[in-house]
Amino acid sequence: MLPYPLTRPNRLRLARAFAPIPRVDISIECAVEDQMGQAFVDSVANPQLFMIEQDGFFCYFAGDLDSDAGRDFLGKIPNGRMLMAGSPGWQTAVERSFGENLIHISRDSYASAALSADHLRSLASSNPLSSDVVRVDAALAGADTPYLGMGAFDSPEDFVTRGIGFCIMKDGTIIGGAYSSLVCGNAIEVSIVVDPAHQRQGIATALACQLLLWCLDHHLAPHWDAANAESCGLAEKLGYTKERKYAAYYLK
């Protein structure tokens, strides 16, 4: 598995390789645009197998993985990765390659087309915490907090330039954040994290409303990918519609 420099010709080849791959988030677009992420191949000169990796964790595949070359390619993936989507047969190849070292995870992908600014404003106006929401600046983006994940960005300043985020603080400490964990030309990936001690108080709803309204005002699709029932419930409360369930695998 070799690093694949994201030159213009290589990005075109990458885009064509990943064109038929079902989208579960915006990670593929981020790499193809050279906004975020890395690409890896079996051969730089004549690649047949491709992997996009985001934030050193999420992995996406193109090419014939259910082959001797594909299994060899998969065997070079480091442990501790989340395997997300790939060419037809990729799940069979992954299960054969890693067996009991996999944890199967069911996730839900949501569509943002039906989001309504009026509905989001109504939710925000009825939420007393909306007045506590503040936009994340470089100082807040650089804060030592688990509630704003800046890992895919180069720096706090880069986040402020290319990303968007909102947070709520208590006694000067961030207790919840909603932010773009990934960005591409026409979309962001929504991430929301709230301090466990302050959950179920409306913080996530207040934060999400502000983030989604900003996206709608700026003609960006706020992509929502849910890994648990709480995330599904919030997405549907906000006005998202469920597209489909899909399988992902955590490589132990």
Write the DSSP string, 119-167.
HHHHHHHT-GGGGG-EE--HHHHTS--TTS--TTSSSHHHHHHH--EEE
Taking residues 75-96, report their average pLDDT: 95
Taking residues 180-201, report their average pLDDT: 97
Query: CA dihedral in degrees (54, 56, 60, 64; nearest 10)?
Result: 140
Residue 212 has pLDDT above 90, yes or no: yes
Answering whether pTM is above 0.85, one says yes
Topology at the third CATH level for domain 2-108:
Aminopeptidase (3.40.630)
Quickly state the pLDDT bin for 150 (edges 50, 70, 90): confident
pLDDT of residue 151: 86
**110-245 and 2-108 share a CATH fold:** yes
- Give the pLDDT confidence of 108-142 residue by residue, as tens digits: 999 999 999 999 999 999 999 999 999 999 999 99
Domains in the chain: boundaries = 2-108, 110-245
> 110-245 architecture in CATH?
3-Layer(aba) Sandwich (3.40)
- What are the C-alpha distances in Å from 165 to residues 22, 56, 74, 160? 27, 22, 35, 8
